[in-house]
Every structure is written in C-alpha cells, then in structure tokens.
Structure 1
C-alpha cells in the first residue's frame, strides 16, 4: 500500500517536472520569436541565467494559474458567459505579467498584448503535455477527472450502489441521420455500442439489438456484441425542442402547439426559447402532472430549456433570467473555466470555428449551392457558441455530475441542430459536427468508468430535421405575405425575413442576459386588427387578435372569404387545420379537399402523404386551448423527404413531413425494451414514461443486488470476542 503511494507520488512529480520543463522551453522559444518579449537584461545575460529566468517564470505562471485562476473565475461568474470568454485572454495575460514581475532576476519584460499571446500558448502547451502524459496512465487520468468535482464530492455523503443514468440529447439528430452516420464511420463510439461494422454507405443496419426500419441489413462485426439498441420514435405535430423536451422532462407538453404561438387571453406571443415563456411552460406542465419532473431525485439538468425538477442546474433556460444565490444555472461555467487551459482552448476553438464558418459560407456562395440561406451577421458567432462553448461547458458539467455520483443527468447538445438549420441536415458541415459529438460521447463513457457508481448511458434526440428550401426562396413571398393577400391587405414589396427558431440563438442571448422578447399584440378595443402570422419550421400559425375565441371556419369565411382558399390551394401548402361549427374540426387541402377530423381514420385526405400517425397528431393539437385560428403545414414530398420552411432554414423542424418527426432512442440492453411487441413510441410524453421506467428499474436492480448491512455487535458479543 505504502509502495503504491510512493509510486503514484513519483509519477505525479515526474509529470509535473516534465510539464514545467516543456513550459520553460516554450517560454524560451517565444522569447526568441516575439520582439516585445524578453527574458534577459538590456546588457545581455548568459545562457544559464536566461534558462533559469525562464524556468522561474514558467513555474510562477503555473502556480498562479493553479491557485489564482479559479478564484478569478468564481469572482467573475456574475459576468455574462460570453464576456467571460472574451476576458479569458486578458486574465491569462495578466497572470503572466504578474509571474514575470515576481521573478527574482527582475529582467523579464513583455508588452501587455504580447503577454496575452505568450500566456495562451503556454497554457495550451502545458495542457497538451499534461494530457499526453496522463493518457497512458488510467490512475492519473482518473485523478485528473476527479479534480473537476472534488469539492462537491467532499460535501456529499457516499454514493449508493444504485446505477445512475445519464441521458444525452443530440438535438435535431434524426434516426436515419444517426444510422447513416454510423454506417459511414462518422460515429465509431455509437457503432461500437450497437455492435456494428463501419460500412461505407446507407442501407447497412445497426446490428444486433438495434430496432430499425424493416428491410435494413445488418453488418455485425464478429466478436463485438452490442451493448445498446436503437429505436425510432414519433414526435407530436409540434416537432421541436420546446414541445419534445417539455414532454420528456416533465411528462406533459399539453397546449404547446408550436415553437411560437399567440395566446389571445393574454395578448402575448409565447416562444419556447424565451426564458419567460420557458418558465411559464414548465409551471403549466408541473401543475398538470403534479410532479416536479424526471430529474427530481438527485438529478442534474445541463444545457436544457427546462429543469426537469433537477436540483443541479447549468445553462438551463427556464432559470437563466433569475438572479441571486439560489440560482445555479451558471455554475457550469465555473466547472469548466476554472482551468485556464480549458478556457484558452475553448476560446481558440471558438475563433477557429468562426473562421471555419465564414470560409464554408463563402465556398457555398461561390459554388452557387442550392438551397442556401444567409449565414452572415452574428450567425458565425452563434454557431461557434453552439458547437464549441455550449458543448465544452455542458460536457464538463456532465463529467462533474458523473464523478459526483448524481442519480440522473439530462444534457442537451445543440451543435448539430444549429449547423443543420443553415447548412442542411445531410451537409458536410453537419457530418463534421456528428463526428465531434461522437467524441464527446466517448469522453463521457470514459469518465463513467471512473465514477463512484455504475452508469447507464442513454442517448436520444428530441426531433429530426427535414431538408428543403425556404417557402420564401421558392415562391418569392412569405407566409405572412400570402395571408395578407388572402385577407385583401397590402403586401409589401420587400418581404421581411422570418425569425429563426434555432435553440442556440436563445442560449447565446441567455448567456448575454439579453432574452429575446416578442412584441405584444394587444389591439385597441373595437378595432379590427391585422392577423398575427408566426412560423415554426414548416408549421405556420395564423391568429386574429381582436377575436377573443378561436375562430371557426365559418367566421373566417364571413370575414375573409378568399383567405382559406388562397392558403389551401397554394402549391407550397400541404394542409390547413381549422375549427368547424359543423364538424368540430376540419382539415382543408387543395382543390376543395375537406376532411372532418372524425373521418380521418377512413379517409386521411390531405394527410395521406404525411404518413401514419399524422391524423392522431392533428387531432391532439386541435384539442389544445391555444391552437391558432388557422394551422398551416407546408407541402411535403415523400420521395425526397423535403418540406418548405416558413423560416430562413434549409434544414427545418416543427411540423409534419419527413425525418423531422422521427428521432431516436439509443438505450442500453440492460434496460427493458422501450416498447413491447415492436409497438411504436408515439409522442414525447410516452418517452417520459419509458425513461421513468428505466430509472425505476435501475433502483430495483440495485436493491436486489445490494449487500447485506452487518448487524452491530451486542455488548456481550464484544466482550466474548
């Protein structure tokens, strides 16, 4: 035991000395390259003196980074997250200047701007060296990971033997996209879990234990048994993160008809990625179910729209607008940025991703790629935040939760969803993101091996994405323009672009503490107002604010006789849903097609091309109190899966049609099958029930395997012993 301690101490000392030596050499090299950074006096010094000065400077910088940096980050937690990221270089450079100032020789000097560069390079080199030395030493790697959550672990009682569950949401990744990525070798970690080979194209299945589309052939690597099964599930009509994640985490997404919708009783627009709306939606779900959520028992929520009832929160939108010590949504930043090497690496990766996006956008424009949407303005920064900052912080928070032994962890990685909206769900850009997400899964799996309790890793998505050009690009007008024309109102020559509903944009605003606010639509009493037209991917919503109730088809026809025919007969519209005084609800299509909701079982009418389950999804949305006066779903081509987005997105979701409504559930074989007898999982609320069952199974399995607790010895037994 004592010998093992000495070996570990010697190994740690050796690694520290090596990192110190490499940092010293790096400082010497930088001093020779950068004109405003020198380690010798003006009169010149011997090589030995210069080397000693560099060693002392590198050592002082290392000590200050280890001791002072975490304190600075904790003090700056009140600063908006992106501002903190920009301060990383300034703070790191300041530590280097301090290290040079306390150097006994008094000779080292550096200009402030040069100190920033030197500090960044030295932090990156030290991190890379330490990681390279630890990668072959599992014990060292375990200790390095434990430092991320050591403080929390000391405050908590010992972990039970109950298996924990970590649920990773790959936002926007459809079932077929995941399967194709595995077959193309983009996601080797997922391929290993499924026990598959790495094929070269689609059509190869996902191996033993995977539940895939009928007719998919399996490509199984001999001697590699699967550990997980892949199961598709079907979303509600509102195939977007707000509805899906609310249902998954809180068990109810009732009355969430879209990503954004107008509520006549309050005169406000609800937006799923607006903090105030997220708070209200979570409150309604909790009131409806009477339960705090999936993560109420020692859970953690990371990077989500909703908390799920978790006590540990980081980057959760529904609490991002709160203030005070009781809010821990920003604690995830400290868990990551307390390491200066992490901070510098993320900042550098952020800059590289911005440059990469600008280059890819320029290349697409030069090649005349179609379809294409604007990727200028702040979008490169939004993409970099989603694919670098949000990913790094959320993964680090999950690592800390695993090492702290949390019972259940739910984390959302939005990188693919953000890139696919602007580059396309099957683009090269999106494929690169999938490869990086797979590496994040591999890291989480590695950390779970060193956690104080066993963990079951579940990966799922909240929706998929369907490709296709925008409604505006194809027809030269927006849905709002079409509605105004049908109402006989003036249509502006220059149509305004519809806002994007991407989740990452809201995360950036929350990080900057500038939540997106939608204008209120209150109208003067007695005055006929213009219709409110909102978009949620390829789903559009039309409401008339001056009418306090949901208007019927008959009322709409009486007010605007041309509106419904104009919408239903437009080639870019698939179908309409309106309330009918005669039939209760009716689906309208082109050329006068009209099918009552009650008759959709025998005659799907315009819903036929949208596949099975479309009728049930439409009926359910029709029952919501805040369903719009007119629900508009774009057309859908079943041959290529394309839809037309009413927003500026070439990969969209939010309505019916294509892969957007077919996400996946990747679960360990240790868990019971998601659905018995090959039944289909329909709706986010059913996914919630499946996850609840798995958490209960983990607790039951631990109870059966729990060791017996020894009975305390009685006094007479102690005397006899």
Structure 2
C-alpha cells in the first residue's frame, strides 16, 4: 500500500521521521501491532461517498478506489451522538446511559454538557466502573476525545477539569513538537491570523443576515482554538507518537462537526473542512507506513448530520414554551388508550407533588423531564398527571415522533397512534426516518433512565432536513437515515475485518482482539 504514496510524500515522511527520532526517545514496545484510529466527527456517509466518487478528497479517494481500503456503512446504536459512541468504543459498554450531548442527569441531579470538563470527568468516572478492557490502555494516546479511555496522555475533555493535572502533563505533551513542525512558526502565526480574520468577517456577515448572533462568539473561539490550533497540535502529536512507537493513537477531527452545527452539513464552510483534512490524512498515512514499525490505519465516523430548521425560527417560540405553557389541549383517546395498553388509569390521589420541569434541546431531538427524580415517569403516570404536555407533543406538526416508556419497554407516538418497536412498519413515519434506528432507540430507552420522560424528535420536513429544537443549522442524535448511517474504512491487508458492524461495542471487541495483547 506504500505505492499509494508519491515519492515526494515518502521523502517527506522519511525526513520528518528522522528529525523527530533524533529529538525524542522511543517508547518501549508493548504491542505486536500498532493502531492509528482517525475519527472524522459527524461526517455523513453520503458526503464521504460523494467525495470519494468525485475525487474531492483525493487521498481518501485513492485509498478506496484502488481497492487498498474498504469503505462501508456501520450502525453504532442509539443515540447517534459522540458520547454514546465513544463509551462503546473506548470502554466496550453496550448501554452507557448517555442520552445525548447535553441532558439532565438523574444520578447527578443537574444538567450536564459534554463540553464542560467537570461534567465529562463525572461521566468518565461512571464509565470507568466497567470491567471490559479499555482500548487505549497500556500506553495508548487519545486526542480531543471526551473521555480518557485508559490513555496515558491527558488531552481530552475530562482531563481539562484539573488545571494541576494539565500543568503536570504540559511538558511531556510538548515533547517533539518543535522537531515535528512542518512550517516556520512565523509563517504559521501569519496563516493563523489570516484565517481568524476571515472567520471573523464570515461570522459578522452570517449574524447580520440572520439577525441573530447567538453562539457566534463561541463559534469564533472554536474556529481559532479548536479548528486551527487544536487540530494542528493533535495532528503533529500523532506524527510524533508514531515515530516514538506509541502502541495506539486515537485522533478526533472535530472541525467538520463544529462547522456543520453552525452553518449546515452541506454548507461551503463544512465541505471545505473535509477537503482540508484530506491532506492531513495523507500525511498521517505516509508516516504510518514509513516508521520502523508501521501502523494499521482505520478511519471512521460516529454519526451523520442533517440540515436543521430551528423550531423557534419556524414557530416564533421555544419548544419549552409550547410544551409547558401552550394553549389547553385534550389528549386524544387513541393516545391514552394506546399508552395505558389495557391497564387501569392511575387514581387521582396518586398525583405527586409538582416539580419544575426541565426541557433540554439536544439538537433535532429534545429530552423533557417532568420529574427530576431518580426514576423516569412511565406512560400511566404521564397520562394521569401530564395529559396536556402529551397532547401538545402528539399534535404538533413539527414533532415527528415521541418516544416514552410503557411498562418495562418503550413505544413511539407517531401522528396520534402508539407503536411498539415490532409495529413500526405500520407507522406513518416520514421517509427520512430510519425505521431500524427508531426500533433500536425504543429497545435502548429502558436502559437509559437518565433520558427524559418524553423524548421528542423533530419532523423531517424535506429531504435531508428536520426540525431542530436547538438554535443550530445542522443536527445529529436523531433517528434519520443520514444521522444513523456511519462509516468505517479499513485496510484490505489489515489484521481485522470491520464489515457488518451493528453496534459500537462490536468495533471495540474486534479492535481489542486484534490490538490488545
């Protein structure tokens, strides 16, 4: 497969490897085979397929079209979001109880968000209770993951919670960076300044055209710190790691995901990030094949993105206002009957003390907590105590389906009718939804007690687009075919086949068998 690299790329990799090797010592060999895992966060498979077909990502296209690499569809389970995927990949947990990127955590008793370091650390400690082997233990390194997953280094969201720990890790993390630089520092700073200025101008134009600047300040910081400085650092460190012989490296490219949320998954800015990363993939692959002990390289995505049409923009009010303070609504008899499923209604005396509801807009889906107790509400309690909220959710044209618990299982409420996972073929779902993914979500919901009492999914209002409950223009975590169809791309000559994967735990198991001695 080294024939896929040009002579210039071979020469570049040999020269850089020699320079790094003279500056940093190797690490003791601990594995028979070495692994580089490159995670393209949020990239839809259809977009990668198109980039391969048209040559818009020329390096990745050469890998796949030559037959050297297989590129196939994978299904990682529900929900289609990074926390759930990384819990399965890093820890091998089939039911991690991670319902979104942001939610109200019943065990912690507060809202959590995975870009908050302390929240990520709290969840990481919960995940660490598993007895399964951690994929990047025994000296592995991870970059810009949410959780550490046993890695030796400290470049992930959870480790940012400790400034003291980060300070201790700073010196070893900087080792080899100067030797591995591919541009003079002044040229890099000049490029960074120009990119930042272009980003500032684009953000100003976007905010003025939309008449709304919410999130744009955070987006600018993300463009500079994460997409420019952060990715350059992680990419360079991965090159250093391979020269040193770090046994396994996991590198997350989050640029596309960040831009897709704010500008849309097929926007010019988002697609440009894919074109940009293709050159970095070529460099990583060149180094992986050049070092003394070559690396097996696997590329993957964790979910797709759909265009998101904000509910607030369409309706002139937030989802929370519509659900909790909307006009009076009567629950249709077909809905209450389907949710009770032949059981007697709860008596009025069973009504609990009122609590402040919590609505978490998680993208194109939302978690509605009508109680903050440790146990979620089941259908009988919802029918008895919150019929108006149920009625508003069931009748609203921008809500495609509602998932909720019924007994020890879960059901979907679609256009005024109740469906079990086994009955979804009869449900009048929009064509954009994946019935397989909806069924999987209903089977998973009983294992997610910290998910909302109601989980709402935005209606698919046109091909490739759904209503979003958060103020964003690209969403994931929902149940469309685009969001739940992921990608895995691996070497035809590698030690493990990665076809037919139906859960991220399958990926963990196959990689562990091949790379954990």
Quickly name the TM-score band, shorter chain normalised: 0.7 to 0.9
**d(CA) in 2 for partners of 1:232 and 1:390?**
29
Asked if 1:395 corresponds to 2:235, the answer is yes
Asked if 1:433 corresponds to 2:259, the answer is no
Distance 1:291 1:348, change over 3 A: farther
Asked if 1:181 corresponds to 2:51, the answer is yes
Deviation at 1:145, TM superposition (A): 3.6
Q: Tell me the secondary structure at the aligned position of residue 377 of structure 1.
A: helix
Asked if 1:310 corresponds to 2:125, the answer is no
Post-superposition CA distance 1:177-231 (Å, at most 9, x none): 1111223322111011012xxxxxxxxxxxxxxxxxxxxxxxxxxxxx3210001
2:117, 2:161 within 8 Å by CA — same for their partners in 1? yes
Structure 1 residues 73-84: aligned runs within 5 Å: none
2:78, 2:84 within 8 Å by CA — same for their partners in 1? no
**d(CA) in 2 for partners of 1:190 and 1:316?**
26
1:230, 1:666 within 8 Å by CA — same for their partners in 2? yes
**d(CA) in 2 for partners of 1:192 and 1:164?**
23
Distance 1:601 1:575, change over 3 A: closer
**d(CA) in 2 for partners of 1:329 and 1:471?**
43
Structure 1 residues 288-303: aligned runs within 5 Å: 288=130, 290-303=131-144
Distance 1:310 1:151, change over 3 A: farther
Asked if 1:260 corresponds to 2:102, the answer is yes
Residue of 481, 503, 515 corresponding to 1:683: 503
2:90, 2:136 within 8 Å by CA — same for their partners in 1? yes
1:636, 1:658 within 8 Å by CA — same for their partners in 2? no
**d(CA) in 1 for partners of 2:156 and 2:9?**
35
Q: Tell me the secondary structure at the aligned position of residue 320 of structure 1.
A: helix
1:229, 1:667 within 8 Å by CA — same for their partners in 2? yes
Distance 1:293 1:462, change over 3 A: same
Distance 1:327 1:171, change over 3 A: farther
**What residue number does 1:470 align with?**
310
Structure 2 stretches of 5 or more lacking a match?
1-6, 330-351
**d(CA) in 2 for partners of 1:339 and 1:194?**
28
**d(CA) in 2 for partners of 1:138 and 1:191?**
19
1:486, 1:567 within 8 Å by CA — same for their partners in 2? no
Structure 1 residues 349-360: aligned runs within 5 Å: 349-360=191-202
Deviation at 1:567, TM superposition (A): 0.8
2:20, 2:180 within 8 Å by CA — same for their partners in 1? no
Post-superposition CA distance 1:499-519 (Å, at most 9, x none): xxxxxxxxxxxxxxxxxxxxx
**d(CA) in 2 for partners of 1:488 and 1:548?**
29
**d(CA) in 2 for partners of 1:652 and 1:264?**
24
Asked if 1:190 corresponds to 2:10, the answer is no
Residue of 620, 627, 630 corresponding to 2:444: 620
Deviation at 1:630, TM superposition (A): 0.9
**d(CA) in 1 for partners of 2:52 and 2:318?**
37
Deviation at 1:546, TM superposition (A): 5.0
1:386, 1:418 within 8 Å by CA — same for their partners in 2? no
**d(CA) in 2 for partners of 1:602 and 1:477?**
33
Deviation at 1:283, TM superposition (A): 2.6
Residue of 67, 77, 80 corresponding to 1:236: 77
**What residue number does 1:447 align with?**
287
**d(CA) in 1 for partners of 2:167 and 2:511?**
28
- Which of 1 and 2 has higher RCO (CA within 8 Å, sep 6+)? 2
**What residue number does 2:434 align with?**
611
Deviation at 1:385, TM superposition (A): 2.2
1:279, 1:318 within 8 Å by CA — same for their partners in 2? yes
Deviation at 1:547, TM superposition (A): 4.4
**d(CA) in 2 for partners of 1:395 and 1:169?**
12
**d(CA) in 2 for partners of 1:444 and 1:484?**
51
**d(CA) in 2 for partners of 1:620 and 1:487?**
33
Deviation at 1:472, TM superposition (A): 1.3
Distance 1:485 1:435, change over 3 A: same
More strand by share: 2
1:336, 1:343 within 8 Å by CA — same for their partners in 2? no
**d(CA) in 2 for partners of 1:180 and 1:138?**
28
**What residue number does 2:40 align with?**
170
Asked if 1:269 corresponds to 2:111, the answer is yes
Deviation at 1:342, TM superposition (A): 5.2
Residue of 391, 405, 411 corresponding to 1:579: 405
**What residue number does 1:668 align with?**
491
**What residue number does 1:282 align with?**
124
**Which has the greater radius of gyration?**
1
Structure 1 residues 519-668: aligned runs within 5 Å: 528-545=354-371, 547-581=373-407, 584-590=409-415, 592-597=416-421, 599-600=422-423, 603-604=426-427, 606=429, 610-613=433-436, 614-637=438-461, 640-668=463-491
**What residue number does 2:335 align with?**
none
Deviation at 1:332, TM superposition (A): 3.6
Deviation at 1:449, TM superposition (A): 3.3
Q: Tell me the secondary structure at the aligned position of residue 448 of structure 2.
A: coil
Alpha-carbon RMSD across the aligned residues, in angstroms, is 3.1
Length-normalised TM-score, structure 2:
0.84
Deviation at 1:316, TM superposition (A): 0.9
